[in-house]
A = this chain, B = another copy of it.
Amino acid sequence: MSVDAVGTARRGRGARKAQRQTRNVTMLPALKRKLPLTEPMTPDQIEKIDAASMDILENVGVQFRDDIALADWKRAGAKVVDEMVYLDRHLVRELIATIPETFTYNARNPANNLPFGRDHGMFIPMTGAPFLRDLDDVRRNPTLDDLANFHKLSHMLPAIHSSAHHIVEPYDHPISQRHLRITYSSMKHSDKTFMGMTTSPKNAEDVIEMCGLLFGDDFIDTHPVVTGNCNGNSPLVWDETMLGALRAFSRRNQPVLCSPFVLGGANTPASVPATVAQLNAEALSALAYTQVVRKGAPAIYGHYLSTVSMKSGAPMAGTPEISLMNFMIGQMARFYGVPWRTSNTLGGAKTFDAQAGYESAMTMNAVLMAGANYMWHSAGWNEAGMHCSTAKFIVDAEMCEMGYRMAEGINWTDFEAAMSAVPDVGPGGHYLGHPHTLENFQKAFFMPEMFDNNSIEQWQAEGSVEITERALIKARAMLNEYEEPKLDDGVNEALLDYIARREREIPAVDALNQDH
C-alpha cells in the first residue's frame, strides 16, 4: 500500500473511529452468559471422569518436587513417599470444597471491578511472547515500550478485561529484575484488572508486595486483586518454582490458575476422555494444595490445552478434539464448583493469515460455548505463542466483542415493537428508512470494524488495505489517542521506590543469556 493510500485509509478510519469513540474507551462489563452451554457429557460420564481422576490421585500419585509442599501434604494427612503424594478422594473433595465458586476481581478503578465465576466470563490478553510483530508487522524481540503499548491497547479495547502482565517479554531489561517493571507497567498503563508474575517464588512475592502498595495490605488480604499462574508439568508433576509462587499468592488470598500444561498425545494418553481425566487429576491436586496453604483462598481450575502433531511434535490449535475437551473440562469445573480458566485464540500460524483466523475463531467458539470464566490468551497469540501480533491483538479483541455479544444471547426486549414494523413495510418493501430500524440498528446487529465488507471495487479504490494493515492503522490511532489513567502520586512514588530498592538488591542477570 502506498503512503497516500495509508493516509486515505487513516482518514477514513479516523472518521469512523470518532463516531465510535465512546465504545472504544469504555470497558464492557464482565460477560454474563445467557446462551445455554455445550455439555456433551451425561452425569454418568462426568462421574466416570471424576472416578478415573481420583484413581490416579490415589494410586498413581502426583509428584510434588518441593520440600515445603511435601511437608505440607504430610501435615494435611496425605500419603507421601519420597516426592510422590497419594491423595485420598475424600481428602481432595474436602479440600476443594472451600474454594470460592465466585468472587469479585478488584481493579484499581472500582468501575472496572469484575464479578467472577459461574456464568461470568472475562477476556485476558496473551502472555509471554518472546517475539512480537510490531506496529509495522516486523517480527523482533520486544522491549518495555512494546509491552507498554500492549498494556495501553488492553486498557482501551472494550472487550479486554485485564492488562495481564508480560504479554510480550521485554528484552531490554535484565531478566532477574524484569518482573518488577512488567508489574509496574500493568499497573501504570491501565486501571483494569491485571496478572502477576510467577517466574519464581521471590518474584511472586515482589508482585504481592507491589499489590499491597497499590491497594493497601489489608485490602488485598480480603480482596482478590491479581492472578498468578502455576503451570504443571504433565504428566502429574508440580515443580518447586511453581509451587513456591503458588504459595506466595495463596498465602495472601490471591487467585492462582492451577494449570496442567497439556500436549495431548505427547504428555497424555491418545484419547480425548483419558486426556481430560489425567488433566483433571493434575488440576485437582494443585487446587487442593491451594487450600492446604490457605483454606478459602481463591483458586481457578486451569490448563494450557493443545494436541500435538504426530509428524512434528508441534502443538496444534483449533482442532476438533480441543473443542471437545474444552466442553468436557467446563463440565468438570462446574461439577466441582470451581471457576475455570482456559486458553482462547491459540494458533500456530506464522503470519496473521487465514490459518490464524480459522484457529482463533474455532477456539473462541469452543471456549464460549464451554462456559469458561477466565479466558486467557484472548488477544495477540500467534505462532504457538512465540510471537504476539499487534494486528491480531486488535482483531482478536474485536472478535471477543462479537463472542461477548453472541454469549449474551437473544435480545427480546423490543420484539413487539420490531414486529410492528412488518405490516408497516409489507411485502416487497424495505426497512432501512423505518423509524424502528433507525432507532435500533446500531445495537441490533454488530458491525465489525476490522472486517471489510465493501465491494472489491470500493476496496481497491481505497487502496486495497489488507486486514493486517487495517488493524495496525487502528492500533497506531489508538496509541495516539491513549490517555493514561494516572496512578495516585503517593502510590506511584511508593511503587518506584520499591522497584529501585529491589533492583539494588537483585543482581542484574542479562536477558541475552536467557535461552529461548
Which A positions have Cβ atoms within 8 angstroms of B?
16, 34-36, 38-41, 45, 48, 52, 55-56, 59-63, 84, 139, 233, 235-237, 264-274, 277-278, 307-321, 323-324, 327-328, 348-362, 365-366, 369, 383-384, 386, 392, 395, 399, 402-406, 409-412, 414-415, 417-419, 421-423, 425-432, 434, 436-437, 439-442, 444-448, 450-456, 458-459, 464, 466-468
Contact = CB atoms under 8 A, between A and B. Distances in A.
Contact of A265 (B327, B392, B441, B459): B441
A480 to B, nearest CB: 23
Given A235-B428, A453-B384, A269 B437 contact: yes
A139 to B, nearest CB: 8
B357 A355 contact: yes
Most chain-B Cβ atoms within 10 A of its Cβ — which of A355, A365, A451?
A: A451
Given A60-B422, A361-B365, A362-B365, A320 B455 contact: no
A170 to B, nearest CB: 21
Nearest to A352: B354
Contacts of A320: 402-406, 446
Contact of A270 (B63, B269, B441, B458): B441
A350 B310 CA distance: 34
Given A264-B445, A348-B453, A419-B277, A427 B236 contact: yes
B323 A427 contact: no
A312 B418 CA distance: 22
Given A235-B429, A418-B274, A265 B353 contact: no
Contact of A321 (B35, B348, B383, B405): B405
A301 to B, nearest CB: 19
Contact of A358 (B349, B395, B428): B395
A59 B423 contact: yes
A236 B35 contact: no
Contacts of A268: 431
A421 B269 contact: yes
B428 A233 contact: yes
A447 B362 contact: no
A36 B45 contact: no
Most chain-B Cβ atoms within 10 A of its Cβ — which of A352, A425, A464?
A: A425
Contacts of A446: 307, 319-321
Most chain-B Cβ atoms within 10 A of its Cβ — which of A307, A427, A442?
A: A427
A36 to B, nearest CB: 6
Nearest to A313: B432
Nearest to A396: B358
Given A348-B453, A365-B362, A412-B45, A273 B418 contact: yes
27 contacts: A38-B38, A60-B422, A60-B426, A63-B428, A235-B431, A265-B432, A269-B431, A270-B445, A272-B410, A272-B444, A274-B418, A274-B419, A274-B422, A310-B445, A315-B453, A316-B451, A320-B405, A321-B445, A324-B410, A348-B453, A353-B357, A354-B356, A354-B395, A356-B357, A357-B358, A362-B399, A386-B455
Contact of A451 (B59, B313, B349): B349
A323 B406 contact: yes
Contact of A361 (B61, B84, B237, B361): B361
A281 to B, nearest CB: 8
A414 B273 CA distance: 9
Contacts of A356: 354, 357
A414 B271 CA distance: 8
Given A38-B35, A395-B354, A428-B236, A410 B456 contact: no
Nearest to A64: B427
A409 B454 CA distance: 38
